[in-house]
Structure 1
Amino acid sequence: GNQVAIKYLKNNISSHFGKPSIIAEFNTMKEMKHENLVQFFGVCIVSPNVCLIIQYCRKGSLKDLMKSDVDLDTMFKLSFAYDIVNGMEFIHKSNLKFHGNLKPSTCLVDSRLQVKLTGFGLWEFKYGNQKKFVPLENPVHEEIYWTAPELMRHLGLQVNGTPKADIYSFAIIMWELMYNAKSGPYQDINLEPKEIIMQLRTPFQGEPLRPVLCDMLCDEKINVVLKACWNENPDRRPPFSSIRRELRNISPESHANILDSMVEKLEKYANHLEEVVEERTDQLTAEKIRADKLLSTMLPRIIADQLMAGKSVEPQSYSMVTVFFSDIVGFTSMCSVSSAMEVVTFLNDLYSLFDDVIKLYDVYKVETIGDAYMVASGLPISNGNQHALEISTMALHFLGAIKVFKIHHMPNETLAIRIGIHSGPVVAGVVGTTMPRYCLFGDTVNTASRMESNSLPLKIHISQCTADILFQAGSFELEERGAIEMKGKGSHKTYWLLSKQGFNPPLIAHSSPHANNLKQQTEKLGMVRVAEKRAHTTLTKTMMTRVDM
């Protein structure tokens, strides 16, 4: 079957469809068959869905094409002009005698880039009488730019058009084609649409108002044709048969047959589409990278990859991880004497510093809530007992970093934080869909939070479970704090983490809004960390080899 387009009519005139004159209009339209005319299939007269059923043109209208990014060369433009001329010549020789509504929006383009004309005929069916009525008061001025001046002078009367008026309309369309006018034929004239119509209707002394011509922008021969076609005197406008001959003489490919012209059209259009597709693909790829990067900051990489692959992420139990909490000492008092902007700037500076530090460790930043900073290690990929060592070393690094941290709006104040660490089992999973978060659940999280709330300024408070792992490692200096009462937990023996053998965290010179030498310091520490891991891996392999022997 044929693909069709449906054009609904604003006026409900279905009651007139049985008139002999309207039936005659239908018959005339059915006979109008030409390769450059949109084929008429029929009408629907059932109110309120009165409409025309016509041939579907995939590329839209010439107006759409001119406004798009498609790069049309002279060959393309002249080919479109040929199509319009051929269609108009057929109409002028038919019983209709004229088009009466020729403009870029009534020049449709099919999938083969061939222009097909529409919008003609059926005057009585569409308007309820045999003449089209153009209102005198408040017309849509931009919609009558293509109307010949002699017809504009009849605004308020019932008038359809004339063959000579069609030639004027063609000239305006061709000017838009040749001059790449995306905003209408009078885009270079600094007048309001109403003023333009007034000058077209009533020319002042001298040359009548027309679109601007320039021999440097368009072939001089084409400009000559345009001048002839929009002549103020309708009798001096050439017929479409003469225009077709002139265009053939102008065209550098005048010897090419229709098939060659069509093939070249399609090749050029296909090449342009490939460029557009490549450009859009690059944009899509860039957006995907940005989206992936954003998602990776919200979720662990392995979890983000699963979600982006369309897979569901099931909650998972971990037998042993280490959880870190910190908060800012005196944060409430600071907020009471600081503006909201100062508080936001301060937190951004501090947490940006912390974010740069944790990049050096096998840890995952779970979240920040107000002045609380939560980090975990040992998930979503288990790392043996390394989680406690990673978190503990990172905590020491945090204390070293804030010693030189300056509060921008309180330069004389010293920043202090409390830190609490605990190791134990947790359940982790993704919560939410609009803003998915990777959350940890279990008593281990609550205990780590209690360790932080019972800590002291510039102290790292760790539980017995974490201390046992650090004692096994043998490179951390701990001090027993003793038994303390924790809300909801009873009495627990805890420790202070003091230092790590051979570890001297770099003192990062920080000035708001960013640390000046953070990158250099972290790069140096990063190299040290890589060397440590390599040595640890080598030692482990050596020990395993000796056991095997």
Structure 2
Amino acid sequence: MSIDTSFPSDPHPVGRPPRFVPQAKVIRLAVLAPNDPEHQFSLFKILPAIHLAARTIERSSSGNSSGPLSGWRIQIVNRDSKCSSIYGPLEAIDLYNSKSIDVFLGPVCEYVISPVAKYAGVWNIPLLTAAAQADGFTHKQPNYPLLTRMMGSYREVGAVMVQILARFDWRVVGMLFHNHDVGKGAGNSPCHFALAAVYSQLEKQGHKSIHKSFDETNSSVNFTQLLLHIGERSRIVVLCAAPRKIKDIMLAAQELNMVASGEYVFFNIELRNSNNVTLKPWYNKSETDEQNQRSKRAYEALLTVSARVPDTEQYRDFSDEVKRIAREEFNYTYDEDPVNPFVAAFHEAVLLYAIALNETLAAGGDVSNGTAITSRMWGRTFVGISGNVSMDENGDRNADYSLLDMDPITGIFQVVANCYGVSKQLVDVPGRRIHWAGDRNGPPPDTPPCGFDNTKCPDNTMPIYAIVTIVLSSVVVVLIVTSAFIYRHYKEEAEIASMTWKIAWNEVVLFSGDRTGRSSGGAAGGPSGSNLSTETTGNFPSDKQLFIQTANYKGMVVAVKAIPKSKVELNRPLLLELKRMKDVTHDHLVRFIGASVTAPHCCLLTEYCPRGSLEDILENDQIQLDAMFRRSLIHDITKAMAYIHSTEIRSHGNLKSSNCVVDSRFVLKVTDFGLHSLRVAADDDDANDDQNSYAYWKRKLWTAPELLRIERPPPEGTPKGDVYSFAIITHEILVRHGPFYLADNHLSPRGKVNQVNKPAFRPAIDDDLGDEEVVQMMKRCWVEDPNERPDFPVLKATIRRLNKDNESGNILDNLLSRMELYANNLEQLVEERTADYLEEKQRCEELLYQLLPKPVASQLIAGQSVLAETFDNVTIYFSDIVGFTALSAESAPLQVVDLLNDLYTCFDSIIENFDVYKVETIGDAYMVVSGLPVRNGNLHAREIARMSLRLLQAVGHFRIRHRPNDQLKLRIGLHSGPVVAGVVGLKMPRYCLFGDTVNTASRMESHGLALKIHVSPATKALLDSFGTFRLELRGDIEMKARKFLPNFRL
């Protein structure tokens, strides 16, 4: 056996003495492959397998005359094709011319195989290769008649993808692969040929596919943009490129959330099939652990399709022997993984050729008859190193492929299924499954639910004109809102500048102390029941009351509260606060009248409440408070506080029973809220009162514990602090023993406040207190944690529910009955009752005006008798509904009522626009008159005529609810003449018309046609005088006593 000089000589060449006789015949095998060790099919890799095959044949023939090729020796020569379409064919020609070549093994590059395979056909030399898988080599006549493909066609890869797509019900596929730049003249890449065959197979099965290519030698390739383009059309992506580029693509997909989402699946068509890039392709020893783990996560969405590597002991022994020969005889070292199945294919090519040649020679053929030898290699099955090798009738191997998936724990790609070339079936590996990315339990769909272009979902997009309209409308709305905001801003600024709250002191007339007759709690003023003794004396204060200053301002009594400031700075925050206070209006809040800011008369003026404070009422034992009374008081407080908390004032800060006052109408109102910057000066108790005084500590009994623990709490307090104060007031109302009552504990106010600073110290609650629901509400309001206290809207709803029996009743009457003996101003009570009487009287008058004409009703209200009156000329309108009797018979009574109600409501809204009076409606009959009780000359005919036309028009658009397809047919008759009108009856008085004119008008209607207006000659004469009405003579109608009257149609 001879070896090319580019490799070391074989120390034990096949066919050398003494194993072959010198006269042995020679078979010359020419190997064409690149000499580059990095190439997947380099001479370094395939020659050891070819030599091993030759030795296997030698061993089977040695000493066995009946063995294959007995008496023949094999000579192997090789040439470096450089993977060049120029040098490769030249080497083949040189081999053919210089030596008698019997068979070609290789070439391994598509652009070298094409010319060499054509020459081999002309030279009648068989050519066997593991390459040439491009689809163009499938049709072998007339160009490639002696080409045998030991790894089959890329169509096998397409068949594998068809099986995978069918398994998971995928029909839309994207392809992203490497291809040489056309401008470089390198031709198409193997990936291009592989995916072209896959594309062809998918297209035959009706699959939709798109593809994009890139040149992996171009460092500026933007994989993100390519993936976005593919991802907009497919979620199943087939890749083919060098391993380092596959890694870049998967990292880009990870950045686009294509991996973690689990919505995308990637397939890598591995052409090289080397284990170091198949089993753990994400790993790079030069990268950090963090980078490798990131790459590993990116590969969770990747599946690999590659040629099947047999998992047999025989194949592992074969791999070890090939590696030994390569290392010892060709100075090339393989990695630790099994030999590539493409390399094994060259080993099996030698075996196949030997079998076919042996059969040809046995049949009397010759080694130079390549056609005969090739025909015996096609369409047969033989035992190769990888098992049974099946060659189809076209000389292509039915290759086996494997589907590999990465174990997310170990990071190793494992075979999960095999697709066998003979059966074309995808067979799962027992005990293994695919791990889908994104923690999915199954494969994702190949298209989104609505499709990539949303064609599977209803098109809810609006047309351009609608979008333009909306945009323009939005712009208009924005402009309007902006204008409104600007207007509101300027209006607010103008209101602030106008200072409507400002009061001129010369308009305030102060009263003497005897004028008020009430404690300070009865107005908007300071504390009630002030203490003059100190805590050190051990004595409790007397019931001495401090009286609020009152004054007359523009005819009304107001409460005056001084601001102890020599000068009030009117800055913007204060002006805004004064404006807001002026704008506050609520039934249960003391109204802010205004303020005087002119030194030395700086003061606040508020509504004066003469009935005193809630504290006064609770301290008065003569006033009995039942459950309804107590709940009404509590409800009034919640209404007031809920409103304060809903405004920009936000909180009260000083809520206590002395700041809850009762006005002249026995309405409880809350005072001393807002204007905290001014009230700090007026109510600075820390500065004005001795901190050891009884009064100082008593004022703090309503203060929430969280505020007591602050050295200088905010003057406006907090909303939750107000809720606590409300709870103390509620306790006052229930027990009526003053604030923070303790049954057997005689602690001073200071002691109570100090105990409140310690959690869980609260006023005493007697078991026989009653009103359990109110007690439970109170307890929730004084809990230690402010966040657990309810808000005032919730409290308002709660007390409304508890007091629902009294909400609809007249609480004022109950209040009056309880306080009637103690009221000092009976005039107010008379005024209230008078107001009720006037309100009821007004209701009666409004009802009378609905029943009778206003002039007639006014006479009755004035107590005058209404006498019957003759009117020389009026116009009467009569109408009814044609077929109403039949319609009523076919309808339910409620449907008839709804019909008439809808119709006459429509009519009533129309006649309000004319000088007419509706006399009555009886069933479907409708009677209207004009010219009485206030005469209007001859305009009555015109008013009735216009009204009739308007009613007829309205009937044309009227729809019957229960019979919307039926047309309501109105028949109208008009007549003018004298009538007598008067009020008939006392209990249910009616304004009635009498005279022949009424009968004639009724005849005009009853003898008329549907949807027509019939006019008598008298009415026609009046209408002609206006010159704006067109009337047509219809004929005569029969009146009483066989008289006939012309009938005109308006």
Give the TM-score, by structure 2 length. Answer: 0.24
Give the TM-score, by structure 1 length. Answer: 0.45
Kindly name which structure, 1 or 2, has the bigger radius of gyration based on alpha carbons. 2
Which structure's relative contact order is higher, taking Cα pairs within 8 Å and 6+ residues apart?
1
